[in-house]
Structure 1
Amino acid sequence: MDWYTSVFELIDMRSFSNLWFWIALAVLWSSAGHWIMGVPWDMVTRADKAGGQALADLETVVHISAGRILYITHEAGVLMAGFAGFLLTVLVLLGFVYGREFAQAVFLLGAPMGVVWLMSIRTARRIKARGMRGEDLVRALNHHRFLVRLLGMVSIFVTAMWGMYQNMSASALWG
């Protein structure tokens, strides 16, 4: 038995037992919780504490980002929704009907990100429609971040449970 075989016996290279998958999941949700509607969270906290120019900068960046999100949605929303629906359907069929673990893993990463995108569109519409500024804007971003983090916790839990189930069912101990 050579070194290569020993390593691959020790580390199973399937999706849910691969360390890189779990690192990617952690980075994905960490980034989603930090970049709220394309705005870094430290900018929101600085504006909330300091006010003044920091708040004015936040308002400018958020309104630019909200406008960008709404523009993309208006111009390509139907096309993006159709493509995302097609891609998620393919992943569901390959992963959960045909049992391809990689497709399951990609679906469990991608589907919640689609929900985050929809939540961002909803928040952007509220910000633009109400012309939010100051405390109202910070409160809306706080609420959006709370929902993203809540979705992240649920998504990580579901992914961990499904991954453990897949790993246990693939092991010799499970049967």
Structure 2
Amino acid sequence: MDWSSTLLQVIDLRSFSSVWYWMAVAVVWSSVSHFVLGIPYDLIQRAKRHGGQGLIDLEDVVRVNVNRFMHIGETAGLFLASFATFLLTGLLVLGFFYWIELAQAIFLLAFPLSIVGMVTLSTARKISVSDPKGEDLFGVLHRHRLITQSIGMCALFVTAMFGMYENLDVARHLIQ
């Protein structure tokens, strides 16, 4: 038994046929939809159900995270946007012009995440300006989670369809 060939079979570098890639996609989108502005959704639900100190704690955590996002956006926003655009463009060219499967897989994961990042910054800015409390805050956070989950569902659908196409295309070339 050759350990290197066994290891390469377990860790398949072809992204769309690798169980590791799909596990990573599931974990990423599960985490992104669970954390709303960096706040666990169960904390939001508990504050909504019980109010009192839970609501005060939620409002404090939201204020801290919103201030953090606003500070990052104001100090490094232009640099981060430029760097993310550079990386996404590089992945797009490598993946869909030079047809490198790993770049396609990373692009199909990173591009929707960049959209979620922009939505998160927009929601943080909205909260910073309007400073909602109580039910209004729950509405803003719920709307943000719904948008994030919608982006995730679309991204998962597109990634799964493209991944199936790639796997069928590879199988077609192997048969010929």
Q: Give the TM bin, normalised by the shorter chain.
A: over 0.9
Instruction: Check 1:3–1:51 CA distance in 2 against 1; reply closer, same or farther (3 A cut).
Output: same
* 2:110 counterpart residue number: 110
In the TM superposition, what whole-angstrom CA distance separates every residue of 1:88-118 from its partner, at most 9, and x where no partner exists? 0000000000000000000011111101110
In the TM superposition, what whole-angstrom CA distance separates every residue of 1:144-175 from its partner, at most 9, and x where no partner exists? 00010011000000000000011111114675
Q: Distance in 2 between matches of 1:2 and 1:121?
A: 50
Q: Distance in 2 between matches of 1:26 and 1:96?
A: 23
Superposition RMSD in Å? 1.9
* 1:146 counterpart residue number: 146
Instruction: Check 1:87–1:11 CA distance in 2 against 1; reply closer, same or farther (3 A cut).
Output: closer
Q: Distance in 2 between matches of 1:53 and 1:64?
A: 16
Q: Which moved more, 1:48-57 or 1:164-173?
A: 164-173
* 1:121 counterpart residue number: 121
| Conserved 8 A contact 1:46-1:54 | yes
* 2:169 counterpart residue number: 169
Q: TM-score, normalised by structure 2?
A: 0.93
Q: Distance in 2 between matches of 1:159 and 1:46?
A: 34
Contiguous gaps of at least 5 residues in structure 2: none
Amino acid in the other structure paired with 1:133? K
* 2:101 counterpart residue number: 101
Amino acid in the other structure paired with 2:35? W
Q: Which moved more, 1:164-173 or 1:59-68?
A: 164-173
- Percentage of identical aligned residues: 46
Could you tell me how far 1:36 is from its partner in structure 2? Answer: 0.7
Could you tell me how far 1:119 is from its partner in structure 2? Answer: 0.5
- SS of residue in 2 equivalent to 1:85: helix
Contiguous gaps of at least 5 residues in structure 1: none
Amino acid in the other structure paired with 1:46? R
Could you tell me how far 1:3 is from its partner in structure 2? Answer: 8.0
Q: Distance in 2 between matches of 1:81 and 1:147?
A: 21
| Conserved 8 A contact 1:59-1:133 | yes
Aligned length: 175
Could you tell me how far 1:8 is from its partner in structure 2? Answer: 6.1
| Conserved 8 A contact 1:168-1:174 | no
Q: Distance in 1 between matches of 2:26 and 2:99?
A: 24
In the TM superposition, structure 1's runs of 4+ consecutive aligned residues that sit over 3 Å from their partners are: 1-13, 172-175
Instruction: Check 1:174–1:25 CA distance in 2 against 1; reply closer, same or farther (3 A cut).
Output: farther
| Conserved 8 A contact 2:92-2:103 | yes
Could you tell me how far 1:14 is from its partner in structure 2? Answer: 0.5
- SS of residue in 2 equivalent to 1:171: helix
Map 1:32-51 to 2 at 5 A: 32-51=32-51
| Conserved 8 A contact 2:11-2:20 | no
* 1:80 counterpart residue number: 80
2:59 is the alignment partner of 1:59: yes
